[in-house]
Amino acid sequence: MRRKTLALLAVVAVAGLAAIVAHGGTQHRSATLELHIGAAMALSGPWAVFDEPLLNGIKMAAKEIDNKGGVDGVTVKLTYKDFQGDNTRQLADTQQMLDDGVQAFIASNGGSLGANQLIVNKGGVILAGSGTDPENTERVGPREYTVVFTDNQQAAAGAEYACSKGYRKAWVLGSPDSTYTGNMGAYFQDAFAHYCKGKVVGKDVYKIGQTDFGSQATKIQNAKPKPDVIFSAIFVPDSGAFLKALRSAGVKTPFLSTDGNDSPLLASSGGKAVSGTVFTTHGFPQPGSLMSKFRESYKKIMGKAPETNTIEAIGRDNVYAFVYAAAKAHSTDPDKIIEALKHLKATLTTGTITMNATTRTPKKPIWLVQMNGTSPKLVKTITPTYVPQSVK
């Protein structure tokens, strides 16, 4: 997903007896540890579109685990606060949770680096939520991990796919307004050259939130040499407006993008112009898949369907990753959870992950989805064998 840092999750230990109990046909040990999860989220303001479904997925996971009587001997307690997109308030909310004993956090998409640093300085541990910027873990350091793929990974998957389609000349559209839209093109260019000696033959920029993409479409239309694929991390609703301008200009070049377009807003903003678009994302509800089963469980527990295609599932996966780590560590101490996270292998809704202890990011499958008219369909999954280094 698109977006940047901060705040949430915590940990408190409680003693008890271990026993095996049956629940819903599945065996679970009765809980001996309580994992206290704290969440500072922007539930109002521009980042609410990401943080609200993320928090809903976290809530769903906490309720699901409680319904089971715990998972692998661990239960979850959840505390969350709405910092309303105000970084000063986020710092205060984070400090309050730290004062209350919370030491494990899942990051907000719209938060500040300062809140993450506060958690780290107080000896906490952080999961990056749905933030995909690989520099998040680099900036925060060895106490932050992520369970979603990162931007250099999804750009590499996009490049590998482009090469498999025979594309060798790419046009890259980026925006310096965010690291997501600013760095993704460099990751793609690196991987495109690695996989098939593909070249970027043209570049252009845009401003996040602009509505007129006529000049960008004209440059691509008049490009020499002509690109055979356009790559951009432009996300909804900007992507819909861009595709309308591009197709109205008569440009039929295939468009390849990223997880910021895994939203019903793509079709509603771009209409028929989105047809053929391929984007990377975190999962797809194929019949019988874990994502499909998650959506069914979510509706039963939360009383409604998920609002997004994957963000709620990502929220769920962050909670379960912490629970599995606490169970492996037999502790809710953040230092011991960090040691468990370093070697975590787990099957999550968005795919089976194997944590890289050096980068603190997981190796996991990346899903490629194509718009068939205005309906998404699964193309394939790719676990890239080559991943570019972070942009410095």
Mean pLDDT in residue range 327-336:
97
Q: In this model, does residue 1 exceed pLDDT 60? A: no
Model confidence pLDDT, tens digit, residues 14-66? 233 233 222 333 334 455 899 999 999 999 887 888 899 999 999 999 999 99
pLDDT-derived band at 158, boundaries 50, 70, 90:
very high
Indicate the DSSP class of residue 239: H
- Report cis status (omega within 30 of 0) of the bond before 225: yes
Q: In this model, does residue 237 exceed pLDDT 60? A: yes
pLDDT of residue 24: 31
pLDDT of residue 6: 33
Distances in Å between the Cα of 328 and the Cα atoms of 33, 101, 106 are: 12, 21, 19
Q: Which residues contact 121 (CB under 8 A, 6 or more apart)?
A: none
Q: In this model, does residue 392 exceed pLDDT 80? A: no
Letter string b/e over residues 232-257, b meaning 16 or more CB atoms within 10 A of that residue's CB: bbbbbbbbbbbbbbbbebebebbbbb
Mean pLDDT in residue range 211-232:
97
Model confidence pLDDT, tens digit, residues 160-191? 999 999 999 999 999 999 899 999 999 999 99
pLDDT of residue 113: 84
The CB-side HSE value for 300 (13 A sphere, CA atoms) comes to: 10
Distances in Å between the Cα of 303 and the Cα atoms of 49, 149, 225, 322, 388 are: 20, 29, 53, 25, 42
User: The whole model's pTM is what?
Assistant: 0.87
341 or 139, greater pLDDT: 341
Mean pLDDT in residue range 206-232:
97
Model confidence pLDDT, tens digit, residues 294-309? 999 999 999 999 999 9
Model confidence pLDDT, tens digit, residues 63-118? 999 999 999 999 999 999 999 989 999 999 999 999 999 999 999 987 778 898 89
pLDDT of residue 31: 55
pLDDT of residue 13: 30
Q: What is the dihedral sign for C-alpha 362, 350, 238, 204?
A: positive
Burial of 223 (0-12, 13-18, 19+ CB in 10 A): middle
Look at the chain and count its residues. Answer: 392
Reported for 214-221, long-range contacts at CB under 8 A and 24+ positions apart, including other chains, are 214/245, 214/249, 216/173, 216/242, 216/245, 216/246, 217/242, 217/245, 217/246, 217/248, 217/249, 217/251, 218/249, 220/171, 220/246, 220/249, 220/251, 220/253, 221/249, 221/250, 221/251
Considering the chain, what is the average pLDDT of its residues?
90
239 φ, ψ (degrees, to nearest 5): -65, -35
- Point out the least confidently predicted range of 129-138, 173-182, 207-216, 275-284: 129-138
Mean pLDDT in residue range 141-161:
96
pLDDT of residue 197: 98
- Domains of the chain and any CATH numbers: 20-149+286-359 (3.40.50.2300), 151-281+366-382 (3.40.50.2300)
User: Could you tell me whether strands 278-281 and 104-106 are parallel, antiparallel, or unpaired per DSSP bridges?
Assistant: unpaired
45 φ, ψ (degrees, to nearest 5): 90, -175
Report percent pLDDT > 90 for the chain: 83
Mean pLDDT in residue range 275-294:
96
The CB-side HSE value for 249 (13 A sphere, CA atoms) comes to: 20
Token pair 């909670």 is found at: 319
